[in-house]
Copies of this chain bind each other. A is one copy, B any other.
Amino acid sequence: MANMKKSEVLKIVGQNIKRIRLEKGLTQVDLVGKIEARIDTTNISRIEKGRTNATIHTLFKISQALEVPLSEICDVHFYKSE
């Protein structure tokens, strides 16, 4: 997909996080409770909604709390130039 908009990428990543979180039966509060570093539900919510362009380290912390590889959160399907 040649021109995937920024907002689309962020939305897909956010949906991935939310989907995995729900599959694990976790609330946002549960999730932040599992993260060692400080993060609160404000940011989880913004990331899940695709309103924020999170840094890789923040996503990594989330992936650790969800016990999945970072690459699973970053599974954005359309990467080809055409």
Contact = CB atoms under 8 A, between A and B. Distances in A.
Which of A4, A10, A63, A74 neighbours the largest number of chain B CB atoms within 10 Å of its CB? A74
Contacts of A59: 56, 74
Nearest to A82: B67
Interface residues of A, number: 30
A53 B57 contact: yes
A77 to B, nearest CB: 8
Given A56-B13, A57-B10, A71 B63 contact: no
Given A55-B56, A74-B74, 7 more contacts: A9-B60, A9-B70, A56-B59, A60-B76, A63-B79, A71-B75, A71-B76
